[in-house]
C-alpha cells in the first residue's frame, strides 16, 4: 500500500463509512418521496417519480455493497469492486456484478430523460401537433419498456468488449495491487477495463486497442442520444413556457417552471 497523504480518502474505514452514510441519506430521502407519492394524488406523474426513486434506492444500495473503485491509467481506466472475489459454484461473478452495476447506475439517467419527455408533452399538449398527442398511458409504458430493453441489449453488446481476458489480466497495472491491495491477475477477481490504449506484451509500448475503441464509441453514442433527448425537451419546453402566455394560465405556468427547475437540479 502507498503512504500518500490522501490515501485515507479511499481506504477503510473512511470510504466504507462515507458509502454507508450516502446510502442511508438516499434511502431515507427516496423513501420519504415514495411515502408522499403514496399518500398524495398527483396523477400519472406519480409513477415516473416512483420509478426514479426506486432506481435511486437500488443504485445507492448496490454502490454501498459493491463499493466500486475506478483507477485511471494512461490508456483508460479499470473499474473493480473493493470487496470482490465473489465465487458461486466455482465461477467468479465479479465481472458480471460489475457490469450490472454500471448498467443500473446509468439507468437513472435514462429514467430522468423520460421525465423531461413527459413534462414536455404535458406543456405542449394542445399547442404542438405530434403523432403521440393521442397516446394513452399504456402506449407510454410500452415505449418505456421497449427503450429499457434496447438499452440493456446495447449495454450487453458493449460490455462484452470490456470484460477481462487473459491478456488484460497479464497487463493489469502493478500499482493497483500496490495502492488497493487487489491483484487483478487473480482469475477470481473480476473487473472491467475501458482502456483504448494498452501496453504491448512484447515491447511495452502503448498501442490502440480497437475493440475497446469501438465499445467506448458505442457507449458515448448512447450517452449522447439520451443527452440529446434531454436538451431538446429542455429547449422546447422553455420556449413554450416563455411564449405561451395565451395558452397557459399564470398558475400553471409557474408550476411548470418549478417542475422544470427541479428537473434541472436532478441533472446537476
- pLDDT at residue 228 in the model: 93
Higher pLDDT, 18 or 251: 18
Distance CA 219, CA 212 (A): 10
Distance CA 215, CA 221 (A): 10
- pLDDT at residue 189 in the model: 84
Distances, alpha carbon 175 to alpha carbons 35, 82, 179, 181, 182, in Å: 46, 15, 6, 9, 10
Q: Give the pLDDT mean for 121-133.
A: 74
Write down the pTM of the prediction: 0.72
- pLDDT at residue 252 in the model: 61
> Which is nearest to 230 in space by CA: 109, 144, 132?
109
Least confident of 6-15, 103-112, 220-229: 6-15
**Beta-ladder partners of 88:** 91
- pLDDT at residue 214 in the model: 87
Least confident of 190-194, 239-243, 255-259: 255-259
Least confident of 71-75, 223-227, 263-267: 263-267
Reported as a pLDDT band with limits 50, 70 and 90, residue 263 is: low
Cell of 200: 504491448
Position 63 pLDDT exceeds 90:
no
45-66 and 14-39 helices, crossing angle to 10°: 160
> Which is nearest to 49 in space by CA: 116, 115, 106?
115
Reported as a pLDDT band with limits 50, 70 and 90, residue 1 is: very low
Return contacts of 237-245, CB within 8 angstroms, 24+ apart.
Answer: 237/116, 237/119, 237/120, 237/123, 237/124, 240/123, 240/124, 240/127, 240/128, 241/123, 244/123, 244/127
Q: Give the pLDDT mean for 21-29.
A: 90
- pLDDT at residue 24 in the model: 92
Amino acid at each position: 500500500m502507498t503512504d500518500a497523504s490522501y490515501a485515507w480518502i479511499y481506504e477503510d474505514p473512511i470510504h466504507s463509512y462515507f458509502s454507508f452514510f450516502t446510502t442511508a441519506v438516499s434511502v431515507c430521502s427516496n423513501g420519504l418521496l415514495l411515502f408522499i407519492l403514496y399518500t398524495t394524488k398527483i396523477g400519472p406523474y406519480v409513477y415516473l417519480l416512483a420509478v426514479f426513486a426506486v432506481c435511486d434506492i437500488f443504485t445507492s444500495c448496490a454502490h454501498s455493497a459493491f463499493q466500486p473503485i475506478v483507477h485511471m491509467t494512461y490508456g483508460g481506466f479499470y473499474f473493480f469492486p473493493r470487496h470482490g472475489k465473489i465465487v458461486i459454484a466455482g465461477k467468479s461473478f465479479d465481472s458480471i456484478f460489475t457490469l450490472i452495476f454500471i448498467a443500473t447506475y446509468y439507468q437513472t439517467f435514462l429514467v430522468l430523460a423520460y421525465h423531461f419527455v413527459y413534462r414536455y408533452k404535458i406543456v405542449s399538449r394542445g399547442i404542438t401537433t405530434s403523432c403521440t398527442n393521442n397516446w394513452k398511458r399504456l402506449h407510454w409504458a410500452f415505449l418505456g419498456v421497449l427503450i429499457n430493453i434496447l438499452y440493456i441489449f446495447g449495454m450487453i453488446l458493449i460490455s462484452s468488449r470490456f470484460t477481462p481476458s487473459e491478456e488484460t489480466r497479464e497487463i493489469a497495472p502493478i500499482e493497483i495491487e500496490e495502492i488497493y491491495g487487489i491483484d487483478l491477475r487473480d482469475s477470481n477477481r473480476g473487473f472491467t477495463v475501458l482502456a483504448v490504449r494498452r501496453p504491448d506484451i512484447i515491447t511495452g509500448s502503448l498501442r490502440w486497442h480497437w475493440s475497446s475503441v469501438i465499445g467506448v464509441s458505442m457507449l458515448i453514442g448512447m450517452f449522447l442520444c439520451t443527452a440529446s433527448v434531454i436538451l431538446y425537451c429542455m429547449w422546447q419546453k422553455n420556449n413554450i413556457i416563455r411564449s405561451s402566455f395565451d395558452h397557459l394560465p399564470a398558475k400553471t405556468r409557474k408550476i411548470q417552471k418549478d417542475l422544470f427547475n427541479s428537473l434541472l437540479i436532478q441533472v446537476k
